[in-house]
Chains A and B, each alone.
Chain A
Amino acid sequence: VAQIDASFDVLRLCSGIDRLSGNGATVAEIHNFSYFSCLLSVYDGRPAANWGYDFYATPTGSPYARILDVAIGDLSAAGFLLPGPETLALSTTGEKVLGELERHILAAERMRYLDAAAGAAALVPLPTVTRALAQEPQLRRVLGAPTKRDLLDEAGYQLVQPHFQVLAEAFEEQGMADADLALSGAIWLMTLSKSEEEGE
């Protein structure tokens, strides 16, 4: 099941990122956006374990899920993804497969978060997403550490939860408690990006 989730995520994110960039999606962007989608599901009150697969942070401070790389390999070998020099894009068959998978009842919940991540990225300049996400507290913690580290374990959750609490309270006080998830995601990215600019 986790492999199916990962394959669906790769196809859906590839399609969403391609719409934003007009130039396909890089492998790094797929890992980043998948992790961001998972974070938005946690913000939305779902346990991270429900995402279906785990992420860890690389020593360079980037999120990574091995299962996504496996999915990218399988989808490319099956001809669903067209590898370019630096980016991946959906082939016509890949688009058809994605269309089929989207009709599956279990896809609806994942789409909510994958689309919110892509939507948040549409609202802010695309390069901001990767830059801002690098300021996410769990990724920031491991930057320069010698080994990889699990993300969204209990310790990781304790780091990110205060951010989500402030975000939710701020929206509520602005009378926007039911704000679109993409908007919440964009505002969080902006606070992370701002902290980078201020050199915190």
Chain B
Amino acid sequence: MNEAPSKDEVMRLIEEFYAAKVERCYGREGGARLLELVTALDAIHESLAYEKLEGGLTVMVALKDDRKLLGAKAMELTPRELPSVIEGAATIQVLDGRLLVVPECRDPLKFAGDAVVYHFQKHDYFVIDGELDQVINTSSSPSLFGTPTFLNLEEVLDDYKTNQARHSQCEILREHLWSDDRHWWFANKPEDVLQRSLKRHVRATLRGVGEVRREQVVGTRPTDLKVTWSFTNRIAYIEIKWLGASLNKRKTKVSKKCSAKDAKKGAAQLAEYLDLNKDDAAEHETMGYLVVFDGRRQRLKLGATELSREDALHFLSEEVEYEPPLWETRSDFRRPRRFFLEPAEVND
């Protein structure tokens, strides 16, 4: 860029840029406070996964140096300690590099007169002229101040569902998952195949991934996969279940049948596992995922040579009803994902 930018373009940037808005609203002093705030925001977002902050996050720096704004109940924590205290929402005052924390989201507008205030609720905001002003963000991430991890994993899982699982496009599934070419019956004990296939896809496609492996835990039943990211405190646990029927090796009888009840059991097991690991992973941000491979076929009998389209696809859109819906009450549990595996052959 050898030519100077146009003045109109620079003026537009000044009008829209959050830091210029803050300085215009709070003056040079506010600008200085903002630098303190954004430096702390980087550390806070590094420790807290914004994907879990559904109740909102408010972070502020007081305009007057030594003023405490959150009352006596606020705890003083380091960024590393935040995950052990915060579940889904928080209000934080940055004071001389220290963090004063209450584990609930307070109304950011209430602090407008006393502090430079940042708020996160699906997007970044600053309080400008007494109102929430959304930060212009042209990136694909919800926040300028944090890096997506769980969101990326969810995109990878959704991609897997459509492009690897649905028609058994993944070669591991195609070659080892089914007992028959028509994809009506699972092969005996399909758990390992499902795990290998999903593990390979996550490892190959997830950005910044550190490790994907089977969780090894002594004393408690492990989840199927544990995903960690390099240079972060994030851990995802993936529990895999399958629905449908498998045949024994000789294909002479049904070796196992799994129904919606097994998916529900998987949700409970995952929640229990997350609870058991809470103390061990106190400085980590954890998220649990239940992935259900659904190969159920309606009215399928051993030895059948025909299966109508209606019966083959009967469960295509039949979701499992989970009670209680744990993802509504827990910030570390995502709504279970069901991957319906379509048969390769049906009879019209």
Interface residues of A (CB under 8 A from B): 19-20, 22-23, 119, 122-123, 125, 135-137, 140-141, 159, 162-163, 165-167, 169-171, 173-176, 178-180, 182-183, 186-187, 190-192, 194-196, 200
A contact patch SS: helix
Given A182-B35, A183-B19: A170 in contact with B1 (beta carbons within 8 A): no
Q: For the complex, what is the distance from the CA of A141 to the CA of B14, rounded to whole Å?
A: 27
B contact patch SS: helix
* Binary per-residue interface labels of chain B (3-19) against chain A in the complex, 1 for a CB within 8 Å, 0 otherwise: 11111011101110101
Q: Chain B residues near A141 (CB, 8 Å)?
A: 2
Chain A nearest Cβ from B33, distance in angstroms: 11
Contact residue among B2, B13, B144 (Cβ-Cβ distance under 8 Å from A191): B13
Find out whether the CB atom of A173 lies under 8 angstroms from the CB atom of B5.
no
Q: Chain B residues near A123 (CB, 8 Å)?
A: 17, 19, 34-35, 38
* Selected A-B contacts with CB under 8 Å, 25 pairs: A19-B39, A23-B231, A122-B39, A122-B42, A125-B139, A163-B4, A165-B4, A167-B10, A170-B11, A170-B14, A171-B14, A173-B11, A174-B14, A178-B28, A179-B20, A179-B23, A180-B23, A182-B35, A183-B23, A183-B31, A186-B19, A187-B13, A194-B9, A200-B1, A200-B3
Q: Chain A residues near B13 (CB, 8 Å)?
A: 187, 190-191, 194
Instruction: Name the residue of chain B whose CB is nearest to the CB of A193.
Output: B1
Contact residue among B1, B10, B144 (Cβ-Cβ distance under 8 Å from A187): B10
Find out whether the CB atom of B17 lies under 8 angstroms from the CB atom of A169.
no
Q: Chain A residues near B5 (CB, 8 Å)?
A: 163, 166, 191, 194-195
Given A140-B1, A186-B19: A166 in contact with B14 (beta carbons within 8 A): no
Is B239 at the interface (CB under 8 A from chain A)? no
Is B276 at the interface (CB under 8 A from chain A)? no
Q: For the complex, what is the distance from the CA of A166 to the CA of B6, rounded to whole Å?
A: 7
Find out whether the CB atom of B39 lies under 8 angstroms from the CB atom of A180.
no
Is B24 at the interface (CB under 8 A from chain A)? yes
Chain B nearest Cβ from A136, distance in angstroms: 8
Q: Chain A residues near B11 (CB, 8 Å)?
A: 170, 173-174
Instruction: Name the residue of chain A whose CB is nearest to the CB of B31.
Output: A180
Contact residue among A137, A176, A180 (Cβ-Cβ distance under 8 Å from B1): A137
Q: For the complex, what is the distance from the CA of A167 to the CA of B5, rounded to whole Å?
A: 9
Interface residues of B (CB under 8 A from A): 1-7, 9-11, 13-15, 17, 19-20, 23-24, 28, 31-32, 34-35, 38-39, 42-43, 46, 139, 144, 231
Q: Chain B residues near A23 (CB, 8 Å)?
A: 231
Find out whether the CB atom of A176 lies under 8 angstroms from the CB atom of B35.
no
Find out whether the CB atom of A174 lies under 8 angstroms from the CB atom of B15.
yes
Instruction: Name the residue of chain A whose CB is nearest to the CB of B37.
Output: A122
Find out whether the CB atom of A183 lies under 8 angstroms from the CB atom of B10.
no
Given A170-B10, A183-B23: A190 in contact with B1 (beta carbons within 8 A): no
Q: For the complex, what is the distance from the CA of A194 to the CA of B227, rounded to whole Å?
A: 35
Q: For the complex, what is the distance from the CA of A196 to the CA of B1, rounded to whole Å?
A: 8
Q: For the complex, what is the distance from the CA of A19 to the CA of B79, rounded to whole Å?
A: 13
Find out whether the CB atom of B7 lies under 8 angstroms from the CB atom of A169.
yes
Find out whether the CB atom of A187 lies under 8 angstroms from the CB atom of B20.
yes
Find out whether the CB atom of A166 lies under 8 angstroms from the CB atom of B10.
yes
Instruction: Name the residue of chain A whose CB is nearest to the CB of B139.
Output: A125
Find out whether the CB atom of A191 lies under 8 angstroms from the CB atom of B31.
no
Chain B nearest Cβ from A121, distance in angstroms: 10
Q: Chain B residues near A20 (CB, 8 Å)?
A: 39, 42
Q: Chain B residues near A137 (CB, 8 Å)?
A: 1-2
